Amino acid sequence: MITFSRFTNYFATVVEHGSIPKAAEALQVSASAIDQQILQAEQEIGAQLFDRAPQGLRLTAAGEVFDNLLARWQRDYRHALTQIDELQGLGRGHIEVAIIEALTEGFVAEVIARLANDHPGLTVRVQVFDNDEVARRIVAGDVDLGLLLTPESTQGLEIRASVNAPLGVAFAPGHPLHGNADLRVCHTLDHKPILPAPPLMISECVGSLFQQHQVDMRRFMTCNNTQMMRSLVRRGMGVAVLGWLDVASDVASGDMDFRQLQDAHLKPLRLHLCEATGRPLTHGADLASRYFEAGMAEIDFM
């Protein structure tokens, strides 16, 4: 039976790089050694793990099954090591966290820095996904904790903490919209609005608002990347319809201003810190959760 071994390392690296030569270069072993291990495994399993094509290797259905199994092995192994460390009081551990792109700047990095400084024995792996994928990873047990906007379904998710993450308009300091306390989408039309495009989660919400005002979004600049939208605002290209989380760090540094949209029937946005229902957190993950909760309280939009 194939267990944690040289083969599993070779297999995972080939999947990651998509070819045996690239995997060999990454592992600093010969390509023939990797190929031999894969062929032996395929013979033992009785099925091909990869389709071999000129453009590279692609997982077969059997390969997908084995890849998923290996991911579970690795996750359970990490979890077991963490539990053993906790039983022995070693102060070590590993935490897996998934976040949405809007959180790649700002409080998440600050929280992790505090956690690492206070508990140097803990390691954290942060992965960035779209909102639906963060939810899926939490439910599947691929991560300990996830930060995401309100998902379509909360089945399998336990919410530990939530903060407001409203939709609004970002603009340069001193902009005429600064004094508008009752800001609505219609007020942005004369200020070259830059609008979010799919697959950004907020694009559907913004599109609905513009439809309510019977305004054709095609008249205006659109972008599917929040970092680019912020860059355009800084360069005086217009104002951007974004979420508070997208610009919180810019507002804190004084580089940008933000006003919440007050349009009627605007769907409220909330940021949630979630774990999987019915799956107890390790001591390290529970500790990290408390750090994230504190960090969320600091960035809550009032």
Please name every residue paired with 146 in a beta bridge, in sequence order, or none if there are none.
98, 274
Which tokens hold the place of 162? 């939530």
Residues 191 and 250 in one domain: yes
Residue 199: asked if its preceding bond is cis (omega within 30°), the reply is: yes
Angle, CA of 51, 55 and 59, to the nearest 5°: 30
Residues 256 and 183 in one domain: yes
Give domain status of residue 203, yes or no.
yes
* pLDDT for residue 90: 47
Of 90, 120, 141, the position where a domain reaches its end is 90
Overall pTM > 0.75 = no
CATH of the domain at 118: 3.40.190.10
Structural domain span for residue 178: 167-260
For residue 156, give every residue at least 6 positions away whose Cβ sits within 8 Å of its Cβ, in sequence order, or none. 138, 139, 276, 277
* pLDDT for residue 181: 85
Residues 11 and 65 in one domain: yes
- What values do phi and psi take at 236, rounded to 5? 75, 25
Q: Residue ranges of the alpha helices (H) in the chain?
A: 6-17, 20-27, 31-45, 61-87, 107-118, 131-140, 202-212, 226-234, 244-253, 283-299
Q: Which residues of 214-247 are buried (b: 16+ CB within 10 A; e: fewer)?
A: ebebeebebbeebeebbebbeeeebbbbbbbbbb
- Total tally of structural domains belonging to the chain: 3
Q: Are 260 and 123 in contact (CB under 8 A)?
A: no
Residues 287 and 160 in one domain: yes
Residues 68 and 131 in one domain: no
Which tokens hold the place of 180? 């508008």
Residues 147 and 64 in one domain: no
Give domain status of residue 129, yes or no.
yes
Q: Are 257 and 242 in contact (CB under 8 A)?
A: no
Residues 41 and 3 in one domain: yes
Residues 295 and 158 in one domain: yes
- Specify the length of the chain in residues: 302
Give domain status of residue 202, yes or no.
yes
Residues 14 and 152 in one domain: no
* pLDDT for residue 3: 47
Give domain status of residue 55, yes or no.
yes
Give domain status of residue 70, yes or no.
yes
CATH of the domain at 77: 1.10.10.10
pLDDT, one tens digit for every residue, the chain (302 residues): 444 577 888 888 888 888 888 888 888 888 888 888 888 888 888 888 888 877 778 888 888 888 888 877 777 777 676 666 665 554 567 889 999 988 988 889 999 999 999 988 888 999 999 999 999 999 988 899 999 998 877 889 999 999 988 999 999 999 999 888 899 988 999 999 999 998 888 888 888 888 888 888 888 999 999 999 999 999 999 999 999 989 988 998 899 999 999 987 787 789 999 999 988 888 888 989 999 999 998 876 65
Give domain status of residue 265, yes or no.
no
Give domain status of residue 104, yes or no.
yes
Q: Are 195 and 242 in contact (CB under 8 A)?
A: no
Residues 4 and 86 in one domain: yes
Of 58, 90, 122, the position where a domain reaches its end is 90
Residues 68 and 217 in one domain: no
Residue 70, SS3 per DSSP: helix
Between CA 259 and CA 212 the distance in angstroms is 20
Give domain status of residue 207, yes or no.
yes
Residues 1 and 85 in one domain: yes
**Which class for 66: exposed (0-12), middle (13-18), buried (19 or more C-beta within 10 A)?**
buried
Of 90, 108, 123, the position where a domain reaches its end is 90
